[in-house]
Amino acid sequence: MRNSTEIRIWMLRNQLTVESIRRDLGYRNHTPVSLTIDGKRNQQKVLQYLKDHGCPEQYLHLPKNMKKAA
C-alpha cells in the first residue's frame, strides 16, 4: 500500500508540491498527481518522477513492472 503521508512529508522536506510536479510533467490539472500519491491511481509518469527525485521506493509501493530486477 502506498504511504501517502510519508510521500507528502518527503515532498515538503524536498520543497515539492503537487502543483510543481503537475507543471513539470505537463498535466493540465493536479488530479493525476494527487490520485497517484494517494494510491488511487498508478500513473507511472508520476511514480517515476517521485522515484527519480529521491522519494524512497518503500513509500511508493511501485507496480511490479517498475521495480528493479532482483
pLDDT tens digits for range 13-39: 999 999 999 999 999 999 999 999 999
Using the 8-state DSSP alphabet, how is residue 54 labeled? T
pTM, two decimal places = 0.91
Residue ranges covered by each domain of the chain: 4-56
Give per-residue pLDDT as tens, 34-57: 999 999 999 999 999 999 999 999
Residue 64 is predicted with a pLDDT of 85
pLDDT at 68 over 80: no
Residue positions counted in the chain: 70
Residue 70 is predicted with a pLDDT of 42
